[in-house]
């Protein structure tokens, strides 16, 4: 659509305002990581890396990052694996079954995370399972499954049944067909799904807060650190996270872009 | 895959078994819990509607309930109003500019949620940067406590945090409008504003509906933001539910409140689905 100069200026103005509101607090907080702060006041303007150095010395923090990486990796693998199975079933059966599977998979994604978290909390308690990183991981799988499922199903539907039928007609076994025909064709979607799932799991706070036992994942550790007030260490973490996030977001978009161009060919 | 009936039934049992255990049964236990009651620390499993009667007749809880709905509706409307122009600009850009703006909008979405709220909290506050800035440029004569750890702060933070989420569905719906329609509108010598109001806006309605409902649901299910910037008086419904599972330790009552929340969410989603599906009012 073509826009007049006035319209463009107006839109740019609103966009700049939103970006300022979103990034302003983040940038101010990051600046705080490099400056010594005491009692909410900047003490001097000499930048220092003390806040960053102190991070490595906090064993609880390093451990929480490691735990979050493990939870994220396991949850992502399980969710992507399950979504392949569910998507294959739904696409193969089609009709009513496809709709029912999609409906159930999307319930936890559409519901507020608090409702999903409470449901799992009550369920685990009914079963007598104590809260731990295992329950957290299950919670993450339930939440992120919808994202992986959606991406895999879309790709499978695009792929159509003819390749699979041809492979089976030519005498390949079901497993061979899956490994040599289906898997290579959905690999791009799986990569996007895994990236998104991992990012969602890494930052998951609401469900994790309800399901975690004594071990803290990274967001829970942050929640504990930031509840008490401003801390230079938390500022330093924000600086690192923003950098990692922008790299991940660009990487994810790049993958998605490449995937869509590959599909267009 | 060359399944006999046996294999097909087996696959079905497996698929629905997994979905049942992981998703359906937990949600059912949640619904059931709302019908139980507590006796000290023991949960009495005799079905009763007591929790719902108590919630619906408690003026404090109902007050917070309606105030929270109002707050979240406000957040959804303002976030969508801000997001629409951004989506429009994003859609009109091409190449690198579009890619960069897209990243600028999407990066905060994956940035740690707790950290975003923390960043906000460090600039709000009586002695916070926002207050000092407003006094510094002369907007205020002295620090205000208008947004210092109360519901206004919750509103402000939720709106800014959720607006980027609202950009994407609107952007996607704008992308789906065929360029030929704009050309047709131009050929029929519709002014740009007129073309926007009669072509673009009605056709982007599904995106608007998604943006509104999505931000509303995200806002109403949140208890971390109100907890962190709401202060002692900024109570929301989510915070009350959370407290029932913590200090108050009344899971059945908390579940009943959760069911009320779920009903609101389902109603809003149904409404949004309906609004997004109605045939576009292009003739107006």
pTM of the model: 0.85
- Return the bridge partners of B42, or none: B39
Q: In chain B, positions 81-120, which contact chain A (CB-CB < 8 Å)?
A: 82-83, 85-86, 88-92, 99, 101-104, 106-120
Contact state of A19 with B179 under an 8 Å Cβ cutoff: no
Q: Per-residue pLDDT for A240 more than 90?
A: no
- Nearest CB neighbour to A203, from listed B110, B120, B251: B110
- Nearest CB neighbour to B110, from listed A82, A123, A199: A199
pLDDT at A195 (0 to 100): 84
Tell me which chain A residue has its CA closest to the CA of residue B81: A14
CB-based contact, B191 to chain A, within 8 Å: no
Instruction: Find out whether A248 and B110 touch, Cβ atoms under 8 Å.
Output: yes
**pLDDT tens digits, one per residue of B120-175:** 887 887 667 777 777 777 777 777 777 777 888 999 999 999 999 999 999 999 98
Pick the closest to residue A257 from A161, A188, A195, A203 (CA basis). Answer: A188
Contact state of B86 with A4 under an 8 Å Cβ cutoff: no
Structure ipTM: 0.84
Instruction: Count CA atoms closer than 13 A to B6's CA, side-chain side.
Output: 0
d(CA A109, CA A204): 12
Ranges in chain B, pLDDT < 70: 1-4, 126-127, 189-190, 278-284
Tell me which chain A residue has its CA closest to the CA of residue B252: A122
Cα B245 to Cα A121, B30, B44, distances in angstroms: 10, 12, 16
Q: What is the mean pLDDT of chain A?
A: 85
Phi, psi of B38 (to 5 degrees): -110, 145
pLDDT at B281 (0 to 100): 45
CA quadruple A140, A144, A146, A149: dihedral positive or negative?
negative
Q: Which two tokens stand for residue A190?
A: 């799986």
SS3 content of chain B, % helix, strand, coil (to 5): 75, 0, 25
Instruction: Find out whether B68 and B236 touch, Cβ atoms under 8 Å.
Output: yes
Q: Which of the two residues, A212 and A31, has the higher pLDDT score?
A: A212
Helix (H, G, I), strand (E, B) or coil at B37: strand
Displacement of CA B275 from its chain's centroid (Å): 17
Contact state of B123 with A105 under an 8 Å Cβ cutoff: no
């Amino acid at each position: 659509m073509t826009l007049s100069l006035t319209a463009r200026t107006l839109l740019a103005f609103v966009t700049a305002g939103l970006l300022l509101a979103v990034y302003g607090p983040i940038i101010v907080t990051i600046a705080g990581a490099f400056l010594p702060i005491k009692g909410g006041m900047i003490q001097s303007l000499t930048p220092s890396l003390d806040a960053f150095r102190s991070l490595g010395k906090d064993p609880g923090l390093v451990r929480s990052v490691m735990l979050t990486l493990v939870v994220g990796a396991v949850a992502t693998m399980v969710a992507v694996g399950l979504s392949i199975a569910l998507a294959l079933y739904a696409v193969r059966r089609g009709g009513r079954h496809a709709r029912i599977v999609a409906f159930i998979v999307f319930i936890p994604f559409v519901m507020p995370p608090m409702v999903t978290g409470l449901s799992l909390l009550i369920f685990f308690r009914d079963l007598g399972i104590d809260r731990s990183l295992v329950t957290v991981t299950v919670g993450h799988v339930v939440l992120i499954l919808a994202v992986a499922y959606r991406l895999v199903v879309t790709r499978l539907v695009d792929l159509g049944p003819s390749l699979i039928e041809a492979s089976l007609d030519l005498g390949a076994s079901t497993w061979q067909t899956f490994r040599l025909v289906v898997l290579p064709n959905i690999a791009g979607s799986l990569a996007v799904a895994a990236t998104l799932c991992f990012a969602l799991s890494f930052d998951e706070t609401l469900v994790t807060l309800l399901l975690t036992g004594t071990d803290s994942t990274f967001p829970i550790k942050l929640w504990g650190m930031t509840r008490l007030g401003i801390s230079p260490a938390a500022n330093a973490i924000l600086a690192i996270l923003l950098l990692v996030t922008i790299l991940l977001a660009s990487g994810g978009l790049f993958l998605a872009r490449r995937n869509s161009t590959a599909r267009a060919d | 895959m060359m399944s006999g009936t046996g294999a097909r039934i087996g696959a079905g049992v497996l698929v629905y078994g997994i979905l049942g255990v992981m998703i359906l049964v937990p949600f059912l236990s949640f619904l059931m819990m709302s019908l139980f009651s507590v006796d000290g620390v023991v949960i009495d499993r005799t079905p009763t509607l007591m929790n719902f009667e108590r919630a619906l007749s408690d003026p404090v809880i109902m007050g917070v309930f309606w105030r929270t709905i109002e707050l979240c509706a406000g957040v959804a409307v303002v976030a969508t109003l801000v997001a629409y122009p951004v989506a429009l600009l994003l859609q009109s850009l091409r190449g690198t500019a579009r890619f960069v703006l897209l990243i600028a909008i999407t990066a905060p979405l994956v940035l740690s949620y707790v950290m975003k709220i923390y960043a906000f909290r460090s600039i709000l506050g009586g002695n916070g940067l926002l207050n000092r800035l407003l006094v510094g440029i002369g907007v205020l004569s002295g620090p205000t406590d208008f947004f210092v750890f109360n519901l206004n702060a919750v509103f402000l933070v939720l709106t800014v945090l959720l607006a980027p989420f609202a950009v994407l569905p609107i952007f996607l719906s704008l992308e789906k409008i065929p360029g030929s329609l704009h050309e047709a509108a131009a050929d029929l010598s519709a002014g740009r504003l007129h073309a926007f109001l009669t072509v673009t806006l009605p056709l982007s309605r599904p995106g608007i509906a998604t943006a509104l409902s999505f931000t509303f649901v995200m806002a109403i299910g949140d208890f971390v933001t109100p907890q962190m910037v709401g202060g002692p008086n900024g109570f929301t419904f989510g915070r009350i539910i959370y407290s029932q599972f913590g200090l108050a330790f009344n899971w059945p009552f908390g579940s009943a409140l959760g069911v009320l929340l779920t009903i609101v969410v389902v109603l809003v989603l149904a409404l949004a689905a309906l609004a997004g599906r109605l045939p576009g009012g292009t003739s107006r």
